[in-house]
Amino acid sequence: MRSRALHVYTRISVSCALTLTLACSLGHATETALPRPTLDGSVSVEKAMATRTTARAYSTDPLTIADVGQLLWAGNGIIPTDAVSGATKRVIPSARKTYPIELYLVCGEGTAQHLAAGVYHYEPEHHALRKIADGDRRKPMSSACKGQSWIAKAPVSVIVGAVFTRAEATSGPERGINFGVMEAGNANQNILLQARALGLETNTVGGIRDEDLYKALQLPSEVRPIVLVTVGKKP
């Protein structure tokens, strides 16, 4: 079963890579492809749960691009289920398959291997990053988190956002918001556990002033930031 999933993933990844290359050749490529995620780590889910803890200090060591890709995939990635039909499913469950979750990566220059400093949208369909803002935004981001200055020192952060209107369209305003927030929780927890399995430290930050965060990161107005997850290595 596992080897079939890997085989399917390989076939789909090749087709995604071709799509990206095609986009490049057509001159409208703005995406950075991420390394193919592994579907088979060596740390048990029980060990990841038992060792997860909140960290508010990180070393200055950068994350690898493979780690960044793995974390984003864990939070909102896609799993190919059939190479012939191209069928896929998401890593996280979603009420009525409305998929309200959007992830954004925030990094400094060289804090995520060769990625330039900026804010990137994670594109699940291509397992790729699309830049939405230039420059190191970690300081203004930490100010938007009610001045929690340690956040600026985390090499990367992942914003877990929800587009409530997607869930509201099928579940109504009240349940739609509940489902959006709940699905953000699913994404958050997957990222925390995946980080532990990679030997990385994290913190979930909910102390956010939304308006300041929109300005700091140039997030699209339809995406409500629910939490951000800081990620780095032990100091």
Ligand X SMILES: Cc1cc2nc3c(=O)[nH]c(=O)nc-3n(C[C@H](O)[C@H](O)[C@H](O)COP(=O)(O)O)c2cc1C
- Compute the least distance from the CB of residue 41 to ligand X, in Å: 21
Taking CB under 6 A as the binding criterion, the range among 19-27, 49-57, 104-112, 173-181 that sits at the site for ligand X is 49-57
Rounded to 10 degrees, the C-alpha dihedral 69/207/149/189 comes to -30
Which lies closer to ligand X via its Cβ, residue 54 or residue 59?
Answer: 54
Task: Tell which phi-psi region holds residue 110, choosing left (phi > 0), alpha (psi between -120 and 50) or beta.
Answer: left
Longest CA pairwise span in the chain (Å): 50
Asked if residue 30 binds ligand X (CB under 6 A), the reply is: no
Considering the rule CB under 6 A, would residue 54 count as an interface residue with ligand X? yes
30, 44, 51, 53: which one binds ligand X (CB under 6 A):
53
Q: Which residue has the tokens 């954004």?
A: 104
Contact 57, 107 (CB under 8 A): no
Closest CA to 141 of 109, 162, 119, 168: 119
Of 64, 171, 204, 218, which lies in the binding site for ligand X, with binding defined by CB under 6 A? 204
- Show contacts with ligand X in window 105-164 (CB under 6 A): 148
Q: Which residues bind ligand X (CB under 6 A)?
A: 53-54, 56, 148, 203-207, 227
